[in-house]
Amino acid sequence: MFLERAVEEARRRVREMSKIFPVTHLETLCSDLPPPPSLSRAIRRNAEEGVAIIAEVKRRSPSRGVINPDLRVAETVRAYSRGGACAVSVLTEPRHFGGSLLDLAEASAAVDIPVLRKDFILDRYQLLEARAAGAAAVLLIAAALDKRGLSSLLAESRELALECLVEIRDEKELEKALEAGAQMIGINNRDLDTLEVDVKTALRLAPLVPDSLTLVAESGYRSRGDLEGLRERGVDAVLVGEALSGSRDPERALLALRGAGKASSNREAGEGLSGP
């Protein structure tokens, strides 16, 4: 199972990194940092004009393989910002996604919009890493954590001024997230065991999420038409990775996805979102 392997690898990285860079050093780095911008507020603000877009930095994936090995982080996230992204997501997992904390730090330094660390977060150490690298929020995967662990990470994130996007795949995981106190819910259309995508997952689960929470749909969105009906179901934002990171022109691709500017037609959207 992919998720089980990824979680064990994440635990091993935490053990290795904590020996090289002790937690006390990270705590010192984080102690004087100013508050980061709010991801939930950025989503809500942009959602007033339609479904907001969280644009992702993604070099490769276990499902697709290589997406964009030559991706330049600062250049890409600036293009996302110009294209109207409400926030940026940065994959920091190295083995399967080709990411790093350096990518996160570079993205955070390049734009003023919130930056989300997307990884297999299991430990407070990783929260400190994220905060030190400039993240405004982190992804927590409900399937990778028991309710006690999820509640603990949510509380520790609040202490560090980090917001959490809690990712779920079914009703049981949604119940766990709500009981743990999640304020932002991400519905992942991708099954992290089989890596298959079914965009109906978000449509099915979205009405079950309380209106008071911020709701993000993840995976499988490639064109403007894919977003139809999401806002009516209560979705505030979508997180888009492969279609944007793999584009030759990420700014134009994002404008097309938003239905903005010259790239507003479905035909242009399809062209703008095509991979290399």
Q: What φ, ψ does residue 171 adopt, rounded to 5°?
A: -65, -40
Which of the following is catalytic: 219, 223, 245, 247? 219
Q: Is 218 a catalytic residue?
A: yes
Phi-psi region of 223 (alpha: psi -120 to 50; beta: other; left: phi over 0): beta
Q: Is 228 a catalytic residue?
A: no
Q: Is 176 a catalytic residue?
A: no
Copy the structure tokens of residue 122: 């299991």
Q: Is 167 a catalytic residue?
A: yes
Report the run of H or E that residue 15 belongs to, with start and end.
helix 2-20
Which of the following is catalytic: 93, 129, 163, 218? 218
- Strands (DSSP E) contained in the chain are 52-57, 60-61, 65-66, 87-91, 115-118, 137-141, 163-168, 184-188, 214-218, 237-240
Which of the following is catalytic: 167, 242, 251, 268? 167
Which of the following is catalytic: 46, 89, 188, 223? 188
Copy the structure tokens of residue 258: 């938003």
Which of the following is catalytic: 58, 157, 163, 251? 58
**Dihedral over Cα of 232, 234, 237, 242: its sign:** negative
Q: Is 118 a catalytic residue?
A: yes
Which of the following is catalytic: 46, 56, 163, 189? 56
Tokens 């030190």 label which residue?
Answer: 132
Q: Is 56 a catalytic residue?
A: yes
Which of the following is catalytic: 118, 157, 176, 242? 118
Nearest to 202 by CA among 217, 214, 220, 223: 217
Active site residues: 56, 58, 118, 167, 188, 218-219
